[in-house]
């Protein structure tokens, strides 16, 4: 069975990370926390909850820097990207891993296919995402249903093909566009985007939409895939049913977690 590494960029997520790490499936072999700029107990909480956690220090600001540092440190056959704010459920990881064990290279979560959804998507962000997704599909001759969602998993050997360069949030768009241009075998699986457990989101609709559009234009016009322009595979969607079982999602006082590390 392929080994699984989960990469989680963090920035002051001490109250959200306990829920994320406690929901991590037992079959995940490696959890990588990428930090370097948190001013709270994020790293201490991670180490208290998971003694085998690998903490990678990345002092440069930007999600792209953090993810690239995590990818470089990952040893698993499969790499999963996961946010630390509780908006992505780790229990869905199996949905991403399964296609990667059966002929696929790159798996993307979607809020807009059967079984997916969002508790956090405003009408404005939904409209913007729909427009950007439609544009991407026209330009890339692809069939994505949800461009602006970063729950993604891929086989580690794809990193050599994708040649990631982005420093910030736009790395998600870079990944998705390059996967299509490089002809990777792509699958979409449903995902339920949850509300952030605590803290303020850094999302800004118009600024982030512009960054996605600019990155997409750059990638489509400038980046040359090392696969010699292989035709992108037809995107396949894998159907799953999301359970109706509710689970508590509340901010965790880090002081209730840190004694665990002292006791061990």
**Structural domains of the chain in order of their starting residue, each with its CATH number:** 4-243 (3.90.550.10)
The predicted-structure confidence for 164-203, as pLDDT tens digits, reads as follows 998 888 899 999 999 998 889 999 999 999 999 987 666 6
Q: What is the pTM of this model?
A: 0.85
Whole-number Å distance between alpha carbons of 160 and 97? 20
Q: Say what the pLDDT of residue 234 is.
A: 47
CB 91 within 8 A of CB 25: yes
Q: Say what the pLDDT of residue 237 is.
A: 57
Q: What is the DSSP letter of 171?
A: H
Q: Say what the pLDDT of residue 191 is.
A: 95
Q: Say what the pLDDT of residue 202 is.
A: 65
Q: Say what the pLDDT of residue 221 is.
A: 75
Residue at token pair 């296919």: 113
pLDDT < 70 stretches in the chain:
200-206, 208-209, 227-245, 260-264
Which conformational region is residue 229 in: left (phi greater than 0), alpha (psi within -120 to 50 degrees), or beta?
left
Whole-number Å distance between alpha carbons of 107 and 259? 38
The predicted-structure confidence for 204-234, as pLDDT tens digits, reads as follows 555 766 777 788 787 777 777 776 555 445 4
Q: What is the DSSP letter of 232?
A: P
Q: Say what the pLDDT of residue 159 is.
A: 93
Whole-number Å distance between alpha carbons of 85 and 200? 10
Q: Count how many residues are written for the chain.
A: 264
Q: What is the DSSP letter of 254?
A: G
CA angle 249, 10, 208 (to 5 degrees): 90
């Amino acid at each position: 069975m392929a080994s699984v590494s989960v990469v989680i960029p963090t920035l002051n997520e001490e109250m959200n990370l306990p829920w994320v790490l406690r929901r991590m499936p037992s079959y995940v072999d490696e959890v990588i926390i990428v930090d370097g700029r948190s001013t709270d107990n994020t790293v201490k909480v991670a180490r208290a909850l998971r003694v085998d956690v690998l903490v990678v220090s990345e002092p440069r600001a930007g999600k792209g820097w953090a993810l690239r540092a995590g990818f470089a440190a990952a040893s698993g056959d499969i790499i999963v990207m996961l946010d630390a704010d509780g908006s992505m459920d780790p229990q869905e990881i199996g949905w991403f891993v399964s296609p990667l064990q059966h002929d696929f290279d790159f798996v993307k979560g979607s809020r807009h296919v059967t079984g997916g959804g969002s508790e956090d998507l405003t009408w404005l962000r939904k409209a913007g995402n729909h427009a950007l997704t439609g544009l991407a599909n026209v330009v890339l001759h692809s069939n994505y249903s949800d461009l602006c969602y970063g729950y993604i998993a891929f086989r580690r050997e794809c990193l050599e093909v994708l040649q990631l360069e982005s420093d910030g949030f736009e790395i998600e768009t870079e990944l998705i566009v390059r996967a299509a241009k490089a002809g990777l075998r792509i699958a979409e699986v449903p995902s339920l985007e949850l509300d952030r457990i605590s803290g303020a989101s850094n999302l800004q609709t118009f600024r982030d939409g512009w960054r996605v559009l600019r990155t997409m234009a750059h990638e489509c016009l400038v980046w040359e895939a090392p696969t010699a322009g292989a035709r992108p595979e037809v995107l396949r969607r894998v159907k799953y049913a999301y359970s109706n079982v509710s689970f508590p999602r509340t901010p965790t006082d880090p002081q209730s977690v840190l004694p665990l590390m002292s006791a061990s």
